[in-house]
Chains A and B, each alone.
Chain A
């Protein structure tokens, strides 16, 4: 009996000699570090000060991330449908957008969105307003649109535009992969029953694709949360910006950046646990 177990042990790719080696030491280390930082925040005045200052940015980070993510999902769905469309214009537009956006660093997209796209969009809206003002019925709406200026869109709004622009391209590829992972027979069966392409997408393909892309969508939420730190270049007072400000003011680099990293890590780790949970649950459902 012992010889067989030895043989199996030797055949293993990763020979685990004891259960101690299989322990998730990394998780334990994180937990210990978290306890240490929480303890410091509760007891050390310096950490307390840093935490109270940077804490204000938490709401901004979450708000910007959530809003940008919602727009990215909507845009991504629109573009993803374009990526699988047989319509030449729709397909090429979506592909062009995705290829361009994926080739530009997120920081550049954010700057571009904030200082080029948003002002340009406002000019277009103003122009539309002056055109609409010419019609008696829509004069009120037209006048309102004409009055919108760049001051009405604050920096966090511009940051949201930049993040959403970039992440729409990533979500588009997620949706495309999800739609293409559904067996061809599903579309054929739906169409053979007389459904239009749109009906087949709406009732048969997308409900199945959504379930499959839930884990990657969750992972992209974590990614956009992390990338939201880039909006500090626009001086939006998120966690990163306030951390930088606190360090500049007090020169307590340790306290400022430990607190900052702790805030991000506590969000991303709990989210990734949630994604794993959803993944397991979906895996069992199928």
Chain B
């Protein structure tokens, strides 16, 4: 396996394609993510960036190509995808908290049924993660009683409680009111500083500048350009990148 040749590479994406009917969402995308790296994927809507992210933990099953997560071929029929997903946390645009459970139960559920942790241990981890995202006092609340920013931070805590090796973020601030974006981004920046491997789809250029190790620019299902934030924002090579940046900056 290719991925095992370099212990530093935790995600390897190799010529991945995916179509939804006639729409080609991904047209042969290849890239790698190193352990501890923060990769930010940007691009116009419909460029396939969310699809690429969702292919990593096989929420979308790619049509072709190969994906290795920590050396495991996730698209392989014999791979236990649930075991892979337990190691890869994902945070959604719409939070997707379980509305019938309290915040604490939200964070404990997967720990108990997937990791098989005891109630006391799961609760301890949950409270610790809530403190991590800065809302320990909301443990007994229901998701519906929280603001959008708080809900998204609970979603981050829920993913972190599984002790994942990788965290994926699918436009985590796009559904938030402007004044709540910062509280979520602060948690993500802190997480990046702690050395978590992160793949982030985002429109937050400020975050990309501050926290990204590398930026990937996608358009029409292809990677157009990738580079360090400095090179990407100050010295874009491709015309498409320049055109995109001139519109948003």
Contacts and interface: CB of A to CB of B under 8 A. Distances in A.
Interface of A: 183, 185-186, 188-196, 199, 203-204, 207-208, 211, 286
Contacts of A192: 57, 59, 85, 88-90
Given A193-B114, A194-B162, A195-B110, A185 B85 contact: no
A203 B109 CA distance: 8
Contact of B110 (A186, A193, A207, A286): A193
A211 B100 contact: yes
A18 B75 CA distance: 69
A194 B109 contact: no
A193 B92 contact: no
Interface of B: 57, 59, 82-83, 85-90, 92, 94, 96-100, 109-110, 113-114, 144, 155, 158-159, 162
Nearest to A188: B59
A198 to B, nearest CB: 10
Contacts of A188: 59, 92, 96
Given A185-B94, A203-B109, A203-B113, A191 B85 contact: yes
A173 to B, nearest CB: 23
Given A194-B86, A195-B114, A185 B92 contact: yes
Contacts of A183: 94, 96
A211 B88 CA distance: 31
7 contacts: A183-B96, A188-B59, A192-B57, A194-B85, A194-B87, A204-B109, A286-B99
Contacts of A286: 99, 144
A32 B135 CA distance: 58
Contacts of A203: 109, 113
Nearest to B158: A193
B100 A193 contact: no
Contacts of B82: 191, 194-196
A251 B177 CA distance: 74
A22 B108 CA distance: 51
A185 B96 contact: yes
A196 to B, nearest CB: 6
Contacts, number: 61
A89 B90 CA distance: 32
B113 to A, nearest CB: 5
B100 A191 contact: no
Contacts of A195: 82, 110, 113-114
B181 to A, nearest CB: 20
A209 to B, nearest CB: 10
Contacts of B85: 191-194
A193 B96 contact: no
Nearest to A191: B85
A242 B59 CA distance: 59
B114 A189 contact: no
A273 B94 CA distance: 37
Contacts of B89: 192-193
B83 A194 contact: yes
Given A192-B57, A192-B85, A192-B90, A208 B100 contact: yes
Contacts of A207: 100
Contacts of A185: 92, 94, 96
Contacts of B113: 195, 199, 203
B144 A193 contact: no
A203 B100 CA distance: 10
A191 B54 CA distance: 12
A195 B116 CA distance: 11
Most chain A beta-carbon neighbours within 10 Å: one of B83, B98, B155: B98
Q: Return the 9 tightest CB-CB contacts between A and B, nearest first.
A: A194-B86, A193-B110, A189-B96, A185-B96, A194-B114, A194-B85, A192-B90, A194-B82, A207-B100
A163 to B, nearest CB: 32
Contact of B92 (A189, A194, A199, A204): A189
A186 B83 contact: no
Contacts of B87: 194
Contact of A194 (B94, B98, B99, B110): B110
A208 B100 CA distance: 6
Nearest to B114: A194
A67 to B, nearest CB: 30
Nearest to A207: B100
A137 B100 CA distance: 47
A191 B59 contact: yes
Nearest to B99: A208
Contacts of A193: 85-86, 89, 109-110, 114, 158-159, 162
A207 B99 CA distance: 10
